[in-house]
Structure 1
Amino acid sequence: MTDVTPKPSGHRIVVVDDESDILLLVRTALQSAGHDVSTASNGQDGLELIREIRPDLIILDIMMPGKTGLDVLKEVKGDETLAAIPVIMLTGVSERAKIQAALDGGAEYYMVKPFEYNDLLGKVEMAMEGSTEL
């Protein structure tokens, strides 16, 4: 008899945010939806994790000490081996200029904290399907 163990249907996701409570909340939400989640609490560690894991999706905060989310976004989208990875900006910054900078920089989606659990999961699914509907 063959042991058939189903493969996880989720995606590999890296979440980068300097707020530990947000990291925990997002990780829990995504793991409960079946995703494999890795986290980093600053931009530099996040970039190293992204390069190591090569995830299916990246979720970035904008405002972090040192390397910001926009800095990480620029490096990811400027690296041909990472550029195709979709990015969701999840941040407390709601200034139109920052939103536009993130979208112009290559982010597929932009979500403002606080966020609804179902909205986050919906954006993750849309990003993984390649949809660009905001």
Structure 2
Amino acid sequence: MMFEKILAVDDDSDILDVIRIILEQEGYEVLTLANGNDVLEMVRQNSPDLILLDVMLGGMDGREICKTLKEHELFKKIPVVMISASHNLHNLLLKPGAPNDFLAKPFDISNLIKIVRAQLAA
């Protein structure tokens, strides 16, 4: 059985722990990263099936990282779900290099699972 691999990127280790526990219980393999600097390298090395990416990453902007991923030939097909405490991200989804979906913080566990399943099934 092949586990789908999810990369979660957030500078809040408590949030990463929660995401990892929830998604591992759902049968996913979860990799976590606490900063935005190593995202491209982590994606290159691990080829995740989905990326959960926080918007505010301690001095880095997750939206820029998302755009870089979406413009990269090798990574552009990987779904990216942005996570943010800001709720006005709907307009983000319309821009070039946009994420595939977004999840507002604090997030509902069932909503997280629903979005992950939907993106992996797409």
- TM-score, normalised with respect to structure 2: 0.91
Q: Say which of 113, 116, 122 aligns to 1:124.
A: 116
Distance in 2, Cα, partners of 1:66 & 1:45:
14
* Partner of residue 103, structure 2: 111
Distance in 1, Cα, partners of 2:117 & 2:94:
18
Aligned length: 121
Structure 1 residues 78-127: Cα deviation after superposition (integer angstroms, max 9, x where no partner): 10100000011111122x2x442355232111110011111100000000
Max radius of gyration: which structure?
Answer: 1
Moved over 3 A (4+): none
Runs of 5+ consecutive residues of structure 2 not aligned to the other structure: none
Q: Which amino acid aligns with 1:67?
A: M
Q: Say which of 50, 58, 64 aligns to 1:57.
A: 50
Distance in 1, Cα, partners of 2:18 & 2:42:
19
* Partner of residue 32, structure 1: 25
User: How well do the aligned residues superpose, as a CA RMSD in angstroms?
Assistant: 1.4
Distance in 1, Cα, partners of 2:15 & 2:76:
25
User: What does residue range 1-134 of structure 1 map to in structure 2 within 5 Å?
Assistant: 7-8=1-2, 10-94=3-87, 96=88, 98-104=89-95, 105-130=97-122
SS of equivalent to 1:110: strand
Q: Which amino acid aligns with 1:101?
A: L
- TM-score, normalised with respect to structure 1: 0.84
Greater strand content? 2
Residue identity (%): 35
65-74 or 19-28: bigger deviation: 65-74
Distance in 1, Cα, partners of 2:86 & 2:41:
24
Q: Is the 8 A contact 1:17 1:41 kept in 2?
A: yes
SS of equivalent to 1:37: strand
Distance in 1, Cα, partners of 2:35 & 2:90:
20
Runs of 5+ consecutive residues of structure 1 not aligned to the other structure: 1-6
